[in-house]
Amino acid sequence: MQKTGLIVAALAGVSAFAMPAAAQGQRGDVIANQYICFFHPEAVPRGLARVAAEGAARPNGGRVMHVYTTAARGFSVYASERGVQQMVAKNPGIERCKADRVVDLGPSPTKGPPFGGTPTPTPTSEVRWDITRVNGGVDMSTKTAWIIDTGVDLDHPDLVVDTGRSVNFVSKGKDTGPDDLNGHGTHVAGTIAAKKNGKGMAGVAPGSTVVAVRVLDRNGSGSWSDVLAGIDYVAKNAAAGDVANMSLGGGADSDIDNAVINASNGIDANGNDLNKHVFFTLAAGNESDDANNHSPARANGPYIYTISAIDVDDKWAYFSNYGNPPIDFAEPGYSIYSTYKDGGYATLSGTSMAAPHAAGILMLGPIKSGGTVADDPDTNKDIIGVH
């Protein structure tokens, strides 16, 4: 069938449905009446993707939430199950649709400082054990760190945030804008790039620019459709050699994995070369489980780094996921002090805290070996990454 016919066919209807409410449910749960749809390769040109998606939904009251043009090719839609089935049947340009699911920050460690812990006082020295362990805290990078997370405190005095490129993809609830109402994304950003200014703490690549790509709400919860929008945004806007950090996850999802792989390799969903690569650092997860059971942690590629966690003694963090592949390096992830929402600081634990150490290192250059984790629970000892 010719491309033109597929484009026209993709403009037919989907049943009307009410506007979505705030995201609810546990990680991996299906989100009612919310779907991710993918176009057939080459069926809908990138420039017409939004036209095709809106044209399929609007005539019958459906609501398009996101349109994906680069790391993936398709859209997310809020509609009834029957409406989506009818849309796919009437539109040969749409390859398939699937139910959207809940994604989040992962389980908080049961011992040690958890996510959302009480903000802690500013210490007298900005030199942190974890930053020193990875040989960071000295040099600033000219590259940009893209924080795909709960947002970033846009006016935190210890961070350089590019507010012009910062965006919000949270499609449900009352949260608007890329500002961090949770604290997690700001903590990640500080580990990567907090200023070396005698206040708070200095990140691995201190003073480097960060961009907030908000995909999770104030409760640290979201959807795969929102996360996919964040990945797609980075694929379109990041420069060659930039770093994107994803300290979040859910169950295994090949479409999310493929989007990360495409964005990192600098190719679009149809295999076209974007003439760049972007490093992705991924939290292994906090389930004490095989990382191969979780996305995006299980994604693999030459510019993708999945990170497990260690403590101050280079010992395995009890909560960390394991498995080689996909895990590439271990980094400090236990009792990590960093920037927090509302201009504050907090001490948190998790592989969410480990991954941004690797991101900061990649901002400065290649990751080198700084020894191995002796008590790694699998048969391959993870390498401790350093600058």
- Structure-token pair, residue 219: 């409760």
**Of the residues 100, 104, 130, 149, which is catalytic?**
149
Coil vs helix vs strand at 151: coil
Closest among 273, 338, 327, 316 to 129, alpha carbons compared: 338
Would strands 94-104 and 30-39 be described as parallel, antiparallel, or unpaired? antiparallel
CA distances from 250 to 68, 140, 142, 247, 299 (A): 20, 33, 32, 11, 12
Active site residue 184: yes
Q: Which residues contact 382 (CB under 8 A, 6 or more apart)?
A: 308, 322, 324, 327, 329, 330, 372, 373, 376
Point out which residues pair with 216 in neighbouring strands. 222
**Of the residues 171, 352, 376, 387, which is catalytic?**
352
Report the residue count for the chain. 387
Residue 102's identity, in one-letter code, is: V
Q: Specify the DSSP class assigned to residue 290.
A: B
Burial of 177 (0-12, 13-18, 19+ CB in 10 A): middle
Query: 228 and 255 in contact (C-beta within 8 Å)?
Result: yes
Q: Tell me the C-alpha distance between 22 and 13, whole Å.
A: 25
Helices (runs of H) and strands (runs of E) counted in the chain:
8, 19
Query: 339 and 271 in contact (C-beta within 8 Å)?
Result: no
Query: 54 and 44 in contact (C-beta within 8 Å)?
Result: no
**Of the residues 184, 187, 277, 387, which is catalytic?**
184
Q: Tell me the C-alpha distance between 372 and 290, whole Å.
A: 19
Coil vs helix vs strand at 152: coil
Q: Which residues contact 230 (CB under 8 A, 6 or more apart)?
A: 148, 169, 213, 214, 215
Point out which residues pair with 249 in neighbouring strands. 104
Q: Specify the DSSP class assigned to residue 118.
A: P
Closest among 212, 177, 182, 207 to 192, alpha carbons compared: 207
Active site residues: 149, 184, 352
